[in-house]
A and B are shown apart, each in its own frame.
Chain A
């Protein structure tokens, strides 16, 4: 944190040892007969940082990609900045705010470690991803980052969260590699729906334990998703 430009008067109160002597209001002291300190609110400039998983697994979706919604949320996030706030993007090269490069290909652990090393204490960090790689090996890193910054995670909701749009024997190609040929019937659909929901719950619990707030990134609307995370009405 560092001091900003603006000040806003709040109250006068009796001087207590340790008060900045430059804050002593001499006129009020004369009137009161004892030392008075002016209490003001400082305008503190924030650092707003964004970390987006832009790997291939985020470039899927039913009507548009999850990455598109993530970018919307990031834009809205940066849109909350006021004069003096600093904007920073952690991740791959990107037009717009200055960025802290991570690696050629996005890697969540490396991105979080970079964020921890590069961001100032108290930075408001918005991290968006599908978090497939997040397991208990990340707990220490998440907790460390959560104590260092004001962290918010958005979990990209699976495009098939409301149901697998396929049936029968289907070939699946992984966005980041791998193939799977499997029969999809009612049993598989039910198992998939349960697994997707369970994964979201587990991720939310993991973030909560690490001191992060978290919410869901909906493919359809990144801005509304961001609002929902902070409970801001439309």
Chain B
């Protein structure tokens, strides 16, 4: 936590000490007017005093005053906020191997469901686009902040078929990103690039432009035999794309892992921790607590 005006804290401490002193004086006056009773030992045993009530009131005063003082000092908290001007392209592999059922119900369906959850959980204001790729790359949904549009586009993802043009998808994303902004690529694939542009070159390009690629390899270690070929993952390549561009790689062997990986990516790519001015919140919370404590004090016959 940082403060705009740390000196207010020192002034607040002095004011708090002064108020405590005034409070003591007021209490002593109340003490001088104590109600006379014949036997306080009997009284105490009869009513079973609840000392925590007065302690709560005291704590309320202290916390409220501290909150107001801290608020006036202009605190800044590092809070998770949606990234400013955030753009995310989800690139989903729709090659023939995505029909493999080693991930229930299929790799393609699991990817679709995870992408849907990613979009639904993304903070408002984040622009999300969707690219699918098999033999070539196709822009299914341009970058936009309208979740309904993107979700509708996810439903239009074509059935698995064809080769795996990872590089083409990355190039298409590169052409779609605005020149400024917090741009991120999320790549979901199960295969090895076997056509089109070299994805390693695109990863280096993105790395040079500070656009991280988060790669998710989907599939079990052995995979299925699709069209007479093993649907294996080139993990080494996916790790390399991520590393070169400043992103990260995750392996998903089932639908739950895929969903978790995308959710984690969602938090990392759409949320950032920034210093946020919290003075107003502190002051409002402190003032509110002061009012509540005052009213409580009036109710129980003690103010201050």
Contact = CB atoms under 8 A, between A and B. Distances in A.
B42 interface: yes
Contacts of B302: 168-169
B236 interface: no
B50 A173 contact: no
A168 B303 CA distance: 11
> Counting chain A CB atoms within 10 Å of each CB, which of B46, B48, B50, B301 scores highest?
B46
Interface stretch (A3-11, A179-187, A203-211): A179-187
Interface stretch (A35-43, A90-98, A105-113, A191-199): A191-199
Contact of A191 (B30, B40, B46): B46
A194 B36 CA distance: 20
Contact of A180 (B44, B299, B300): B44
A171 B35 contact: yes
B39 A171 contact: no
A175 B54 contact: no
B1 interface: no
B53 A169 contact: yes
Contacts of B33: 171
A192 B39 contact: no
Contacts of B7: none
B180 interface: no
A173 B47 contact: no
Secondary structure type dominating chain A contacts: mixed
A166 interface: yes
B47 A192 contact: yes
Contacts of A182: 43-44, 47, 49-51
A174 interface: yes
A66 B39 CA distance: 14
Interface in B20-77: 30-31, 33-51, 53-54
A178 B47 CA distance: 16
Contact of B49 (A176, A183, A194): A183
B301 A173 contact: no
Interface of B: 30-31, 33-51, 53-54, 299-302
- The 4 A-B residue pairs whose C-beta atoms are closest, nearest first, are A168-B301, A195-B46, A182-B49, A174-B40
Given A168-B299, A169-B302, A172-B40, 14 more contacts: A57-B39, A58-B38, A60-B38, A130-B38, A168-B301, A170-B35, A171-B33, A171-B34, A175-B36, A176-B38, A179-B40, A185-B300, A192-B47, A195-B45
23 contacts: A60-B36, A60-B37, A60-B38, A132-B38, A132-B41, A159-B38, A168-B300, A171-B30, A171-B34, A174-B38, A174-B39, A174-B40, A176-B39, A179-B31, A182-B43, A182-B50, A183-B54, A183-B300, A188-B48, A192-B46, A192-B47, A194-B46, A199-B42
